């Protein structure tokens, strides 16, 4: 079985006669794409992240934008299978060709982009990331600034020869950007503000990778009050980091992740922003939310009324319950393994099976995938040792 492509527009036809209005600027703001993620060690899921990126590129062409912003965590780590990296390079090479290099991709490094492993430590020595490789190939523009320099020197104009710089102008928009500045970037905010030119009559975008406190429960972030110092210099604060989409006071924008990198992400509002900037006497912006065509998920809860003593009987019971539940969904194509084929989150409750009937998650996952239209299964055991019927005591 192979994963099916979900989005195959004719890019060549879409790129004709789309540029030239200097009073109108359009861009896509995306983030946290997590390319290279091999979620659950499942190849379907690994490809889903690439398909999401492919769809973002296609949306950029369909809506005839001037540039595409990537707010960090474009890759999930430096751990990457060669075949997956080749697909990504080919996608970007084709994108550059069919758009005649008219849509620039502007990115910054997030914390995941510099991780050695997807859940491991960051490299102490900077200078290594897949984004830097893509920039060296001329496929993206990677912005960064030297925050140790004086404020008026930190954002250098992007140089297409050296492929380095901290700001770039496109039409009447100027984009400033830095790499991930740590979990508490507050100490740099004043310097970033002072480094942004105030009275240049341009629309200012600052591309950053950090979260805002209070936007996600029990997830640390920067206090909104500390960010206010940027407001008189920044028209559009383009964020990445939090996987949940949010907009604050019409100047702070976080699109959320492009795919679900954990179980909670499946329930989040996520996607990309399509932004239109119009210049008349002043600048006005229109921000539209676009939801991507992502892999679906479903939760199932199965309750054990008896203590199973034989694993085969227990597995048979689980499959029987799941088949009954899935049959209620008439829209599910049992023979199709496209993007609509879900990841199943299975919660097992009730009486705990006997020890000799211990569940082998890998084995049960394989059995479920062979019998039901799912691409993977995550199994959660919530059994209780205290569930006893009254007749036990008589």
Percentage above 90 pLDDT, the chain: 65
pLDDT digits (tens, 9 = 90+) for 223-256: 999 999 999 999 999 999 999 999 999 999 999 9
For range 147-163, the mean pLDDT: 94
Among candidate residues 248, 147, 228, 240, the one with its CA nearest the CA of residue 195 = 147
Spans of all domains in the chain: 11-290, 297-393
Q: What is the pTM of this model?
A: 0.85
Quote the mean pLDDT of the chain. Answer: 87
- Which helix (DSSP H) or strand (DSSP E) does residue 95 occupy? helix 82-98
Q: Rounded to an integer, what distance in angstroms lies between the CA atom of residue 59 and that of residue 88?
A: 16
pLDDT digits (tens, 9 = 90+) for 263-282: 777 778 889 999 999 998 89
Asked whether residue 14 carries a pLDDT value surpassing 50, the answer given is: no
The band of 321, judged by pLDDT with boundaries at 50, 70 and 90, is very high
Q: Which residue has the higher pLDDT, 99 or 124?
A: 99
Q: Which CATH class is domain 11-290?
A: alpha beta
Q: Rounded to an integer, what distance in angstroms lies between the CA atom of residue 176 and that of residue 196?
A: 8
Report the pLDDT value the prediction gives residue 154, as an integer from 0 to 100.
Answer: 95
Q: Rounded to an integer, what distance in angstroms lies between the CA atom of residue 149 and that of residue 185?
A: 16
Q: Rounded to an integer, what distance in angstroms lies between the CA atom of residue 381 and that of residue 308?
A: 14
What the block records as the tokens of 195 is 């480094």
Which stretches of 269-333 are DSSP H helices?
A: 311-327
Report the pLDDT value the prediction gives residue 123, as an integer from 0 to 100.
Answer: 52
For the chain, what is the radius of gyration of the CA atoms? 24
Asked whether residue 145 carries a pLDDT value surpassing 90, the answer given is: yes
Please name every residue paired with 377 in a beta bridge, in sequence order, or none if there are none.
344
Phi, psi of 371 (to 5 degrees): -110, -10
Strand ranges, E, within 86-233: 104-107, 141-142, 167-170, 173-177, 203-209
Please name every residue paired with 248 in a beta bridge, in sequence order, or none if there are none.
252
């Amino acid at each position: 079985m192979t994963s099916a492509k979900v989005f195959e527009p004719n890019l060549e036809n879409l790129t004709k006669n789309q540029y030239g209005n200097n009073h109108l600027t359009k861009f896509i703001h995306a983030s946290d794409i997590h390319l290279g993620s091999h979620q659950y060690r499942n190849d379907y899921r690994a490809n889903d992240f690439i398909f999401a990126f492919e769809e973002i590129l296609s949306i950029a062409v369909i809506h005839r934008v001037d540039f595409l912003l990537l707010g960090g965590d474009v890759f999930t780590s430096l751990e990457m299978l060669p075949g997956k990296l080749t697909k990504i390079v080919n996608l970007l090479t084709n994108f550059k060709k069919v758009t005649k290099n008219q849509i620039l991709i502007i990115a910054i490094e997030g914390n995941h982009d510099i991780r050695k492993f997807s859940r491991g430590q960051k490299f102490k020595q900077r200078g290594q990331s897949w984004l830097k490789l893509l920039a060296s190939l001329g496929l993206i523009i990677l912005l960064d600034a030297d925050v140790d320099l004086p404020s008026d020197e930190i954002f250098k104009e992007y140089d297409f020869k050296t492929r380095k710089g901290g700001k770039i102008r496109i039409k009447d928009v100027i984009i400033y950007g830095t790499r991930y500045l740590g979990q508490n970037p507050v100490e740099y905010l004043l310097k970033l503000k002072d480094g942004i030119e105030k009275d240049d009559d341009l629309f200012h975008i600052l591309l950053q990778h950090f979260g805002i406190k209070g936007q996600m429960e029990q997830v640390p972030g920067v206090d909104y009050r500390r960010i206010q110092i940027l407001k008189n210099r920044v028209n559009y604060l383009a964020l990445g980091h939090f996987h949940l989409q949010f907009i604050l006071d019409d100047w702070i924008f976080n699109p959320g992740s492009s795919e679900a990198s954990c179980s909670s992400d499946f329930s989040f509002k996520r996607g990309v922003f399509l932004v239109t900037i119009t210049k008349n006497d002043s600048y006005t912006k229109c921000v539209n939310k676009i939801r991507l065509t992502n892999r679906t998920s479903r939760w199932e809860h199965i309750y054990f009324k008896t203590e199973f003593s034989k694993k085969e009987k227990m597995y048979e019971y689980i499959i029987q319950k799941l088949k009954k539940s899935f049959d209620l969904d008439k829209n599910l194509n049992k023979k199709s393994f496209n993007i609509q084929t879900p990841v199943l989150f299975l919660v097992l409750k009730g009486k705990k099976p006997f020890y000799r009937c211990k569940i082998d998650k890998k084995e049960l996952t394989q059995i479920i995938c062979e019998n039901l239209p799912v691409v993977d299964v995550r199994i959660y055991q919530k059994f209780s040792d205290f569930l006893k019927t009254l007749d036990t005591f008589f």
